[in-house]
Amino acid sequence: MDEDSQAKRLVNLLRDTGHDVVTANEANLMGQSDANVLDYARQEKRVVMAHYL
């Protein structure tokens, strides 16, 4: 999950329902560019969940 979407309640809900969630903070990606986050996701074979208002 990107840094804009990592509300603790949402992360816990996803994990409690069996999803393998890694937050931007856990991946040491806080403050990184979107390109860096996408590169990480590609390398780890993950998707990025983002929420922008």
Name the residue ranges covered by the structural domains of the chain.
Answer: 1-53
Q: Give this prediction's pTM.
A: 0.76
DSSP state of 5: S
How do residues 1-51 score in pLDDT, each as one tens digit?
555 555 888 889 999 999 999 998 999 999 999 999 999 999 999 999 887
- How confident is the model at residue 9, as a pLDDT? 85
- How confident is the model at residue 2, as a pLDDT? 54
What's CA 19's distance to the chain center, in Å? 12
Q: In the structure encoding, which two tokens stand for residue 49, read together? A: 């969940």
What's CA 40's distance to the chain center, in Å? 10
Q: In the structure encoding, which two tokens stand for residue 33, read together? A: 């560019």
- How confident is the model at residue 53, as a pLDDT? 63
- How confident is the model at residue 8, as a pLDDT? 84
Distance CA 14, CA 21 (A): 7
